[in-house]
Amino acid sequence: EFRRSYWHLDTFWGFGGVEHVRAEHGYFFRDEETRPDAAKLVGKLTYEAGHPDVAAFDFLKPLADAAGVEARQSIPAPAQLYCELICRNDELIAATDAVYPDRAELAKDVSKVYRELILDLYKHGARDIKLDDCTWGVLVNDSFWHAFDEGHLKREEILQ
């Protein structure tokens, strides 16, 4: 993760249909605000050859091999991309809705690009892939839950 600008956005920007933009605000962590970079959907999600996570793994693997350890590639979970596209701010949510009026189609394409990314990493020798998922907070934070849920999910059913 040290070669990334963000732990998650660099992965998202590597997918086709996702543009690197500047939002009005960054992410807030207590009294700190990050740079206002964001991922904006400008077309259907596609997997692009030469994804930055694969390039990062190609850099890491020979170093790990030389040290006699297994290289671990860490990527943000698919749920993280989905949440980023439907929860970040009104402008970015509207951009997502313009491309994917059907959230089920969005979820299907998120799954597809992640499957292709993971298979590409595997082809490059990755055998230890960690999915970082910070979206669980959505389940317990009422202000996030409303944006995420759309009335289709019952939080209590998910938490059981």
Beta-strand pair 72-76/128-132: parallel
What pLDDT, on a 0 to 100 scale, did the predictor assign at position 139?
Answer: 67
Q: Mean pLDDT for each consecutive 10-residue tract of the chain (160 residues)?
A: 66 94 68 78 96 94 97 93 84 94 94 98 97 78 59 55
What pLDDT, on a 0 to 100 scale, did the predictor assign at position 42?
Answer: 98
Q: CB of 19 within 8 A of CB of 42?
A: yes
- How large is the angle between the packed helices 90-99 and 78-87, nearest 10 degrees? 110
Buried b (16+ CB within 10 A) or exposed e, 103-113: eeebeebbeeb
What pLDDT, on a 0 to 100 scale, did the predictor assign at position 2?
Answer: 55
Instruction: Map out the domains of the chain with their CATH numbers.
Output: 9-159 (3.20.20.210)
Average pLDDT value over all residues in the chain: 84
Q: What is the pLDDT of residues 105-139, one digit of tens each?
A: 999 999 999 999 999 999 999 999 999 887 777 66
Name residues whose C-beta falls within 8 Å of residue 100's C-beta, 6 or more positions apart in sequence: 41, 44, 106, 109
Print the SS3 string covering the chain.
CCCCCCCCHHHHHCCEEEEEEECCCCCEECCEECCCEEEEEEEEEECCCCCHHHHHHHHHHHHHHHHCCCCEEEEECHHHHHHHHHHCCHHHHHHHHHHCCCHHHHHHHHHHHHHHHHHHHHHCCCCEEEEECCCHHHHHCHHHHHHHHCCCCCHHHHHC
R_g over Cα of the chain: 17
